Amino acid sequence: MALAMKRAAIISPAWVLACVALLGLLVGIELDVNFFSWSPHWSLQSLACLAGVPVVVAALYFIARSTQDRSALMVAAFASLALLSLALRAVVPEPKGEAGRWLVRTAVSPASYRWGRVLAAGIPFCFWIWALARATRRVKNA
């Protein structure tokens, strides 16, 4: 029983850290490409953030694969749903205003970019569903 508690104590913060890392990468891309107005350009920051996303997804895969405990599944559910809810808030297009005013958008980000962010932020939720199915199957077979 002590091993299961140690595993949950390691896996639960790993879920939170991976979700926070993915959020940080998505915010980094957002700040570089779509902060004041939609201006897609490839800088070193946006490329580094874009390259970091598959690393975090791979880490999430291994974290989800080793998740067995109910408490770790609960923490994973809260972390992944929080990330997904933050991404769903950004689906609505930004308000477009008159050019020449301070902090007014002249171009709105395309829907494909906004839904791509939702898709990227939904990856932890998909891994959580997979981990839940694995844990449920493991309990039924035991």
* Dist CA 128 CA 105 (whole Å): 36
Question: What is the count of structural domains for the chain?
Answer: 1
In a domain, 5, yes or no: no
In a domain, 7, yes or no: no
In a domain, 34, yes or no: yes
* Dist CA 89 CA 18 (whole Å): 20
Q: Where are the beta strands (DSSP E) in the chain?
A: none
In a domain, 6, yes or no: no
Tell me the pLDDT of the chain (142 aa) as tens digits: 577 778 888 899 999 999 999 999 999 998 888 877 777 888 898 899 999 999 999 999 999 999 988 899 999 999 999 999 999 988 888 777 666 666 667 777 888 888 999 999 999 999 999 999 998 888 788 6
CA of residue 105 relative to chain centroid, distance: 26
- Residue partners of 127: CB distance under 8 A and separation at least 6: 60, 61, 63, 64, 80
In a domain, 32, yes or no: yes
Q: Give the structural domain span for 108.
A: 17-141
Whether the predicted model's global pTM rises above the 0.85 cut: yes
In a domain, 117, yes or no: yes
